[in-house]
Amino acid sequence: MTTVSLFGDARFPLGPFTPYEHNPILRPKGDSWESANLYNPAALVVNDRVVLLYRAHADDIVSHIGIAFSDDGYHFEREDTPILSPEHDYERYGCEDPRIAFIEGTYYLTYTGWDRVTAQLCLATSPDLRTWTKHGPLFEDFNTFAAVSDNGKQNWSKAGVIIPQQIDGQWWMYFGEGAIYWATSKDLIHWTPGTPDTEPMYSPTPGTFDEALVEIGTSPVLTDTGLLLMLTNGATRITHEDGTTGVDYRCGQIVIDPADPTKVLARLQDPWLRPQTYEDTHGLVSNVTFVEGLVKFHDRWFAYYGQSDTTLAVATADPGNEYGTGLRADG
């Protein structure tokens, strides 16, 4: 089995990305567990094929995680049975929003366990993408909105990406919805946050596309200067033509220096993707482009994202055509 985990030679900012003209590439189907909505995929390359692990559900909105394969990055064949489904109380209403890392022969899948009260970042491991061992919620009494707003929760955490290489003899994870935090581990199973939930490493930036919240998007890639680059999701408040208000989800980028892995070195000042098409602006939760998967495949970058929590799309970028503007250093 050949799996690529940390693609090199990226540049920051990565892109520009162009949405595929035939999006969505996956839609809900049939009357089964994926009949109503299908979105928010993790992505990796295995044996020269793109593999997507995506979230889907029926009208009951109880999410499962399915799997699909592609030889070209655009056209996918999916399996009929989900690879991960709710089993325990902490996830009884959904296994949601996966991210994945492949390390030393094991797949490490982070996902959100949802019980309709609390969202908790959970971990599952597998040797083959089929047989999974669940390790339960990772962070108790941790609220990733603590420094952003009062969401009334004590346990609330989502969106974990594991760095597939050690830094200073430890494994590192970046996680969080609301704000972004870091955690470390000796065994990739037990994780310890590096700071209290009131002290995130990266918070929303007032007056910008991520002013309402920020969330980790994709697993990292390594730039040609040795920095870790991650795609992010951000939300801003918008006013509709009828005077009602809502939230608009757009996609950004950050970079972190492994020599100082607790700080965001720079951020993309403007979003590289925002809701534009009908599918981006109409769905279960409208006005959402939400990226969770990034791979370099056949000399092209593929970024996979959910559209309004209803369909799944891809945007691509060619290496060598990177833009070089729009940076703003933090700190």
pLDDT at 323 over 70: no
pLDDT digits over 280-317, tens only? 999 999 999 999 999 999 999 999 999 999 999 999 99
Q: Which of 175, 225, 165 is nearest to 202 (CA)?
A: 175
Do 136 and 88 touch, CB atoms closer than 8 A? yes
Nearest-angstrom CA–CA distance, 237 and 192: 32
The structure's pTM equals 0.94
Q: Who wins on pLDDT, 158 or 245?
A: 158
Q: How confident is the model at residue 4 (pLDDT cuts 50, 70, 90)?
A: very low
pLDDT at 228 over 60: yes
Q: Who wins on pLDDT, 11 or 5?
A: 11
pLDDT at 1 over 90: no
pLDDT digits over 28-59, tens only? 999 999 999 999 999 999 999 999 999 999 99
pLDDT digits over 78-96, tens only? 999 999 999 999 999 999 9
Nearest-angstrom CA–CA distance, 286 and 60: 18
Q: How confident is the model at residue 61 (pLDDT cuts 50, 70, 90)?
A: very high
Q: What is the pLDDT of residue 259?
A: 94
Instruction: State mean pLDDT over 178-202.
Output: 97
Nearest-angstrom CA–CA distance, 111 and 328: 30
φ, ψ dihedrals at 45, nearest 5°: -115, 125
Q: What is the pLDDT of residue 152?
A: 72
Amino acid at 249: Y
Do 233 and 290 touch, CB atoms closer than 8 A? yes
pLDDT at 238 over 90: no
Q: What is the pLDDT of residue 154?
A: 80
Instruction: Give the torsion sign (CA, 265, 146, 305, 81).
Output: positive
pLDDT at 319 over 90: no
